[in-house]
Chains A and B, each alone.
Chain A
Amino acid sequence: MTERKRDDLESELSAYLDGELDAARRQEVRRRLAESDEARALLEDLRAISDGLGRLPRHRAPDDLPARLARHAERRLLLGEDGARRRLRLTWWAARVGAAAAVLVACVAVGWRAAERWRSRPVDLAAARERSALPAPSPETVRVLSGSPAAGDQASVSAIVRTAPKTEAPPADTALAPAAELRETDTARLSEPPGPAAVVALEPGETGVTPLTDEASEDEAASVAIVVRTESAPEYAAAVAVVAGWTAGGPETAPSEPGRIDWYCQVAGGDLEQRIAELVQVTSGRNVRLHARFDAADPDTLETVTRAVRRASLTSPLARRPTPVPPPTQAPTVVMSRMAPAAAPPAAALMETQPTTPARPTAAPPEVSPGENDKEKSQATPEKSASPSTRRARARPRGFDDRRDPETIRRDLHARHEAATEEPDAAALGRLFAPAEGEVPASAPAPTAPSAPGPGLGAATGAEGETLPAGRPGGAARVDRPGPPSFFDYLLSLAFPPIVGRVLTEEPPPAPREPAIPVRLHVTVLPPPPIVPGDSPTSAPTPSERRR
C-alpha cells in the first residue's frame, strides 16, 4: 500500500467507524481493510478509543441548578447588566453626547449666520404648512418579546402593542410617544409610527388574561384588566386585602369560581401605577398580568399604562414556587358580599368566609341596616369634610388599614396564617383578616349584614367604640412617614431608577400626572392552586372536591 493510499484510508477509518460514509466509500474501505492487517489493527484501536470515551462516567448537573439559574436570571433581570458593562456603556453614551453637543454648537454657529441673511425674506405660510403635512401612519404591530438580553425587565412576559386601524391622523408628537417609551426597553422592533389607538396586551392563553368584555366608556381614558394569580393562601389574602381596600369600586360579578375575586373601580390615571405597585409588592411581583386598552392619543395614559405593563412584567423567568404552605382544612372561599356605592360615602368592604361547617352564632356580625351604618359612621367621624384619603382609610376591611405598606400586611398575614393553620376549621381562617392581638384597627364602619352571615371576616367588623391610635385623630389615616424600603424596593429601584428610584430617597414623591379622564380598572384575584399531588396546579377544586 502506498503512503498516499494509506493516509486516505486512515482518514476514512473514523468516518467508517461512525457510519458517516456513503455506500461507495464504505465498500472501498471494506475492501482495503480486507487487504491490510495494519488497517484492521488501527480500526480496532480507534473503535476501542471511541468505546472507551463513550463509557466514561457521565457527570450530572447539581440538583439545585434550576434554583441557581433562577437566582442568576432574577439578578440579571433586575440589575440588567454588571457594573463594568454599565460603566462602559455610560462612557460610550457620554462620548456620544459630547460629540453630539460639539456638532450642535457648530450647527448653531453656522445657522445663526445663515438666519441673519434669511430673516428679511417673506415666508409663504400656506406652502410651509403643506410641505410639513405628515403622512398618515398605517396600522402596524410591535411585539415586545421576552428575555431580551439588554432589557431584563421584559424577561417573562410577552406584551403586544398593536395599533388599531387609523381613524384620524394624530399629532406627530403623540404618534411617536409609544416608540419612545418602548425603545427604552431595547426590545421593541418598531417599523412604523403607531396609529392613534393602541392596545398593550399580554398574549391570552399563555398568561391567563381574560380578555376584556367591558370597554372603557366615553368618560374613561382606558380600560385596564389586572389578573393576579396567587400562589399561596397568605399571598391571596394579602392581594384581596389590597383590592378590597380600594374605594369607589366593588365586585364586578358573582364569582365564577370559588375564591375568585373580580373587582372594578375607576381610578385617576396617575393612581394606576400606585395600584399596580401595591399588587406587585404584595405578590412579590410574580403572576401579575395586565391587559389594557387605551387611546394612544392621550400621552399621559399611554405612559402610565406602559409603565404599569413594564412593572407587571418584572417576573422571574423561571417560576420559583415558594415553599408550599399547607392549606387549611377549609380552603378559603372569600367573596365580597357588599360593594360600596360610587357616589355615597363608601361603606366598609365586608368580606366573609363561606365555611362548610355550621356557622358559630356567637361569631355572626350584628345586623345593621345601611342607615344605621351611615349613622355610626357619622358618629365615629364627626367631621363632615373628610378628605378622600380619610374616606379611603375608613373603607378598609378590619385589620388592613392603609397606614401599613403592603409588605407589612403580607408579613402580618404570613404570621397569622401560620397561627390559623394550626386550627383546622374555617373560623381560624377568618383570623387571617382579623386584627392582630393588641392592634387597634382603623375606623371601620359597621357592615350591612350579609345574606348568610358566618364566622370569620364578617364577625370581625362592626364593633362600636373603637378608638384610633394616638396621633391619628379622626381616622385621617394616611402614610405620613413611609417605612424603610424593602429589599424588593431596592432591586426595583436599580431596575427602574426613573420610576421607583425615589423609593430610596428622602424626598417626597412627585405628584403623579393625572389624565383628565379616569381609568377603568378591573382586577381579578385568583386563589392559589390546591396543593394536591398529581392535581393540575391551575385548576381550583370546588369545595366538594376539597372535602374529598
Chain B
Amino acid sequence: MSPPPPAPEPTDAELAQRAQRGSPEAFAALVARYQDRVYNTCYRMCHDHADALDLTQTAFLKALEQLPGFRGEAGFFTWLFRIAVNLTLSFRRTRARAAHVHGAELDRRRSARIAPPEADVAATLEQRELRERIAAALDRLDDEFRIAVVLRDIEGLDYAAIAEVLGVPTGTVKSRIHRGRMVLRELLADERTLGDRAQTRRS
C-alpha cells in the first residue's frame, strides 16, 4: 500500500492570510521559509553576522506588526524583502555616519584584501581568493548599486521584483545593476583572473 501523497505545501498567500487571521503557526512557517534568504541579503549588505541577525529579526518583527496591512497586492516575499531592504539601507546610512572617522582605515584594509594573489597559489586557493575578492569588492559598492546587484545576482530576483522591492522604476534597476557590475569590474582590476575565467568558460 503506497503511502498517501503528501499534502501540497501552502503558498505564501495562504500562509499570509492565515497569519493575518491570528495563526502563529502560519507566520512561523513564513519565517522558516524566508529567514535564510533575508539573513543572507542582510549579511551581504552589512558583512557582519551580528548586524545581519539584528536586521533579520527586526524585519520579521516589523512584518509581523504590519501584517494586518498586507493586502497581497505584491507577493509576500517581495513585501518582506522591501521591509528588510529598507531597514538595512537605513541601518547602513546610520552606520556610515558613525563610521566616517574610520573610513580611511577600512579602505586600507579592504585594499589589502583585494590585492592580487601570488602567482603560484593553488587553484582551489585561487577560487577561494576570488570569492573573497568579489565579496570584498561588493562591500565597497555604494549601497544603491550594491543592493541591486545583491538582489539580482545573489538572490536571483528579476528586474520587476527588484523594482518593487526598491520602489524604483525598472529602468533605474537596470541602470543600477549595470553600473554596479561595472564598478565591480573596475575594483576587480585583476585582468588575469577574470581573463582566465573567461577563457576557461570559452574552452
Contacts and interface: CB of A to CB of B under 8 A. Distances in A.
Contact of A318 (B28, B43, B49, B53): B28
A317 B27 contact: yes
Interface in A184-224: 187, 202-203, 206-207
A135 interface: no
Contacts of A207: 22
B138 A53 contact: yes
A156 B65 CA distance: 11
Contact of A65 (B22, B25, B31, B182): B31
Interface string B174-190: 11011001101100100
Interface stretch (B88-96, B106-114, B115-123, B153-161): B153-161
B16 to A, nearest CB: 11
Interface stretch (B32-40, B75-83, B97-105): B32-40
A499 to B, nearest CB: 21
A54 B153 contact: yes
B21 interface: yes
Contacts of A20: 158-159, 174
Given A53-B154, A60-B39, A76-B61, A69 B22 contact: no
A20 B171 CA distance: 11
Interface in A234-262: none
Interface residues of A, number: 52
A145 B134 contact: no
Contact of A59 (B32, B52, B158): B52
A159 to B, nearest CB: 9
A170 interface: no
B188 A49 contact: yes
A39 to B, nearest CB: 13
Interface string A46-75: 111110111111111110011011001100
A18 interface: yes
Nearest to B156: A54
Interface stretch (A8-16, A302-310, A355-363, A472-480): A8-16
A45 B190 CA distance: 11
A146 interface: yes
Interface stretch (A122-130, A147-155, A366-374, A388-396): A147-155
B68 A56 contact: no
Contacts of B39: 59-61, 65
B135 interface: yes
B172 interface: no
A316 interface: yes
Nearest to B34: A61
Contacts of B135: 56
A537 to B, nearest CB: 9
Given A46-B185, A61-B39, A319 B64 contact: no
A203 B17 CA distance: 13
A281 interface: no
B28 A59 contact: no
A15 B174 contact: yes
A158 B24 CA distance: 11
Contact of B57 (A15, A18, A65, A155): A65
Interface string A467-504: 00000000000000000000000000000000000000
Contacts of A317: 24, 27, 64
B131 A55 contact: yes
Contacts of A50: 152-153, 181
A10 B64 contact: no
A418 interface: no
A158 B22 contact: yes
A206 B57 contact: no
A56 B178 contact: no
Given A59-B43, A66-B32, A158-B22, A52 B61 contact: no
B180 to A, nearest CB: 9
A318 B31 contact: yes
Interface in A356-409: none
B131 A52 contact: yes
| B20, B57, B62, B201 pick with most chain A CB within 10 angstroms | B57
Contacts of A55: 131
A18 B64 contact: no
Contact of B35 (A65, A73, A149, A319): A65
A535 interface: no
A45 B152 CA distance: 16
| B18, B52, B64, B194 pick with most chain A CB within 10 angstroms | B64
A202 B21 CA distance: 9
B130 interface: yes
A316 B24 contact: yes
A466 B181 CA distance: 85
A148 B24 contact: no
B71 interface: no
Given A69-B57, A72-B57, A146 B131 contact: no
A14 B130 contact: no
A315 B35 CA distance: 23
Contact of A156 (B24, B198, B202): B24
A481 to B, nearest CB: 37
Given A60-B39, A149-B65, A49 B56 contact: no
B22 A156 contact: yes
Interface of A: 10-11, 13-15, 18, 20, 41, 44-50, 52-62, 65-66, 68-69, 72-73, 76, 145-149, 155-158, 187, 202-203, 206-207, 315-319
* 3 A-B pairs with the lowest CB-CB distances in the bound complex, closest first: A149-B65, A14-B178, A61-B39
11 contacts: A14-B178, A15-B174, A46-B181, A50-B181, A52-B197, A53-B154, A56-B44, A58-B154, A72-B57, A147-B19, A158-B22
Given A49-B181, A317-B27, 14 more contacts: A14-B177, A14-B181, A15-B177, A18-B159, A47-B198, A48-B194, A49-B194, A56-B154, A61-B39, A76-B61, A146-B20, A146-B67, A315-B24, A318-B27
